[in-house]
Structure 1
Amino acid sequence: MKSDPAARRFAPTALMLGNVVTGCSVLAPAGMLPELSSGLDISIRTAGLLITFGAITLCIGSPLTAWLTSRIERRLLLTVTLALLTVGNIGSAFAPDYASLLTIRLVMLAIGALYTPQAAGTAAIIVPVEKRGSTIAYVFLGWSIAAAVGLPLITFIASHYGWRTSYGAIGGLGCLSFLLLLWRLPAGLKGTPVDLKTWSEVGRNRTIVLLLAITMLQMSGQFVVFTFMGPLLKKLTDASPDAVGLVFGVYGVCGFLGLLIATRIVDTWGPYRTSILFTSLLLAGIAGWALGAGNLALMIASVAIWGLGFASTNSMQQVRLVAAAPSLAPATVSLNTSVLYIGQAVGSAAGGALFARDLLHTIGFVAAGFVVLALAVVGLTRPRPAVATVAA
């Protein structure tokens, strides 16, 4: 296989931009629930089901597509996936009604589920062993950019130009990302095939099961609030669409900062202590939202603290899963992505049920309860100290 060094240097950026498109595709409805509600003549809760059902599709699709496509050449696999995400977003912009929009979204995400885990696996192939960790973290940065920049822009565009324009903008970004990936990702890349026996090994590993439970609880707690953050800010503080976009921006920027801090301290603190720190920040932020509900300044400050934990906690989960069983890493990283989406589905469904009953203050406390459970399970995964052996 011919190798173009310049192409390989830029390939991680092309993969990362694909994650920006994927992140925006998954998160988009959260930034424009009011516009979807009024434009399609549906309730806010019904609009929120785009996230709930989308997350269910993603959690099923991620491990299934990882297994079915593990033998396909990576550039072909990733470019076709990104092309279908692009077509799905453009199709969403022209959806005539809610049923059509939901159908397009479910088909788009069923295929798009494989992009993030496969992009991470591809990143590990195209760089030297000593750079794999930082390169995978860089590729995952696309999700932080989607939250920090993409979601506020989606909110701004939807509030000023309509939700259809927002979907069109994501489609345009997808076209650009597709071309970059096609241009810069080397051909002939093959990953390690996923064997069905791998999943049974994962299920027998207690530490991995506990780590996956942490991911689900952390995500459930966040998405109880996050899915309906815009409408909650509007109802509780009468925040304008631009103010809502600002809050999403604070969330994303702080998430980016938290990820940078976690990357800098994890080698000295260790993954367990770093995970404890950022899960505690997650809890502090969501608890602050619950206690400060109704006060915009307090809610923004709480979102900033919460944001510090949202990306870094998931990053630490990836690190700990790989360390727990290196040979199972391709399967556990994919399964962690799936469990993450289960958490999104559980959280958004719980948040929707509470929102529909106008239990706006209760939402924050339920979210905090999930994160309390997550922190408790993190404590159960504390590494055992090494037993010293004394020479006779």
Structure 2
Amino acid sequence: MTHPPRDAALPRALWALMMGNFVIGTGVMVVPGTLNDISQSLGVSIPQAGQLITAGAILMGLGAPAFATLVAGWDRRRLLTLSLLWYALLMGICALAPSYTALLPLRVLAVISPAIFTPQAAACVGLLVPASQRGRAITFVFLGWSVASVMGMPLAAWIGGTLGWRWAFGLVALMSLASAAWVWRDMPNGIRPAALSRQAWGQTLGSPALMLAVGVTLLSAFAQFTLFSYFAPYLVQTLGIGGGTLSLLFLWFGAFGLAGNVALSRWIDRIGASRGALLMMGGMALSLLLWPLGRAGLWQQALVLVPWAIGCFAANSAQQARLVHLSPALAPATVALNTSAMYAGQGMGAALGGVMIAQGQMLRLHEVGLVVMLAAMALSVWATRVQKRS
């Protein structure tokens, strides 16, 4: 068996898409990173502020497959550029919101962009690179989310802790403008994945292997965001740290997240996407199992975060590659569904975490996360067996 050259050059357009995902990811994670400041500034509780995550995730979850159908015939250069311009506009308006009741609907409108950009960028990959580079290219494009966790989320947490959350939102708006210009410059004209017919959706929804794989993404995101949504208030409560230390912990988390995604992008075409996803979820389960040890101190918490960080974004990259590999022709539908599942899982996790915090159960969030992550791993094994039989 031959393998594609690991140092084969990727098209310039993939760099623009990767940076677009960086901006999108930073905007999505700006709320968890500034949750404490939003709560204090707008005079709402932590669970209520967490509804910004839940509401946004619900819109992204429901919107991804719907928008995939609505924009099927659009030129992707124009579509992706417009989605980033919309992000810039709404994030800028969010930064000026006078109250929580004004911010909530504006935030929901803003996340229309992630519902479009991330799945449609992934769906373009198959038209930009040969099949032998597809797995590497998809994981490369999703490196943007890992870079967002390394740079975007810590920067947002630091800005939120020093200047206020409004400045963090404003920064995302400016970055969105720059990213839109980059996509417009480097994305070729005429990239139009095949329109999603009813038959394509029927084939996707009727495939047990595809739908089980999508279910893995849902459960994995659910498991993570039960706790991840509330990292900031959790770490402040358990370790008594300030905004500067919190941003350093986010930077630590993001650095290992980037390392995990880079490593996976180099090896995924060799080890297989299904195995890669299971390995990454196993690392996150280990962190959730050891989570109480982090309460002993800052360094203990930092070490417990490492396996989770390595698997956090790499697992979703592997899932995207897994679905594209299963059926390249259905990639626009499966990637949209997978993105929908990811966002829906985030919303479910944030909602459950908020309920638990309101009931005084913040220190037990990891227990729920662990149970759901183990369920995701079991479903992944089942999905692989179904895939081999089909």
Give 1:83-94 correspondences, 5 Å limit: 83-94=85-96
1:78 maps to which of 73, 77, 80: 80
* Counterpart Cα distance in 2 of 1:30 and 1:139: 23
**Cα displacement string for residues 43-80 of structure 1 (whole angstroms, at most 9, x for unaligned residues):** 11111110000000000110000100010111111111
Counterpart mapping for 1:160-239 below 5 A: 160-239=162-241
C-alpha RMSD over aligned residues: 1.9
Shift of 1:15: 1.5
Equivalent of 1:12 in 2, 14, 17: 14
Say if 2:360 is the partner of 1:358: yes
TM-score (norm 1): 0.92
Determine the structure 2 residue equivalent to 1:103. Answer: 105
Superposed displacement of residue 302, structure 1: 1.3
- Render the CA deviation track for 1:125-168: whole Å, top value 9, x for unaligned: 23344433322222111111111110000000111111111111
Q: Which residue of 2 aligns with 1:377?
A: 379
Partner of 1:328: 330
Deviation of 1:295 (Å)? 3.4
Out of 265, 268, 293, the residue aligned to residue 267 of structure 2 is 265
Partner Cα separation in structure 1 for residue 379 and residue 215 of structure 2? 8
**Structure 1 position 349, deviation (Å):** 0.6
One-letter amino acid of the structure 2 residue matched with residue 196 of structure 1: R
Aligned residue in 2 for 1:157: 159
Q: 1:273 to 1:73 in 2, by over 3 A?
A: closer
Partner Cα distance (1:287, 1:362) in 2 = 11
How far did residue 260 of structure 1 move?
2.2
In the TM superposition, residue 324 of structure 1 has moved relative to its aligned partner by: 2.5
Q: Is the 8 A contact 2:294 2:302 kept in 1?
A: no
Q: Could you list the per-position Cα deviations for residues 172-193 of structure 1 after superposition, in whole angstroms to 9, with x for gaps in the alignment?
A: 1111111112222222322211
- Aligned letter for 1:301? L
CA distance in 1, matches of 2:294, 2:128: 47
Letter in 2 for 1:347: G
Mapped partners of 2:14, 2:203: distance in 1 = 30
Q: Does 1:250 align with 2:252?
A: yes
Sequence identity of aligned pairs in percent?
32
Corresponding residue for residue 303 of structure 2: 301
CA offsets, 1:324-357, max 9 Å, x none?
2333222111100000011001100111111112
Give the number of equivalent residue pairs.
380
Counterpart of 1:35 (choices 29, 34, 37) is 37
Q: Where does residue 129 of structure 2 map in the other structure?
A: 127
Q: Distance in 2 between matches of 1:271 and 1:102?
A: 37
Distance 1:328 1:9 in 2: 23
1:5 alignment counterpart: none
Q: Which moved more, 1:331-340 or 1:271-280?
A: 271-280
Aligned counterparts of 1:127 and 1:386: Cα–Cα separation in 2: 26
TM-score, reference length from structure 2: 0.92
Letter in 2 for 1:14: A
SS in 1 for 2:140: helix
State the alpha-carbon separation in 1 of the partners of residues 188 and 386 from structure 2. 42
Q: Distance in 1 between matches of 2:144 and 2:279?
A: 23
The DSSP-based 3-state class of the residue aligned with 1:113 is helix
Distance in 2 between residues matched to 1:208 and 1:299, nearest whole Å: 36
Cα pair 2:77 2:191 within 8 Å, conserved: yes
Letter in 1 for 2:30: A
3-state SS of 1:15 partner: helix
Q: Report the Cα offset of residue 9 of structure 1.
A: 4.1
Q: Mean alpha-carbon deviation: is it higher for 372-381 or for 132-141? A: 132-141
Distance 1:250 1:316 in 2: 22
Structure with the greater alpha carbon radius of gyration: 1
* Structure 1: unaligned runs, 5 residues or longer: 1-7, 388-392
Which amino acid counterpart does residue 95 of structure 1 have in structure 2?
A
Report the Cα distance in structure 1 between the residues aligned to 2:172 and 2:388, rounded to whole angstroms: 50
Partner residue of 2:342 out of 340, 343, 352: 340
Which residue matches 2:279? Answer: 277
2:97 partner SS: coil
* CA contact 1:224–1:347 (8 Å) conserved in 2: yes
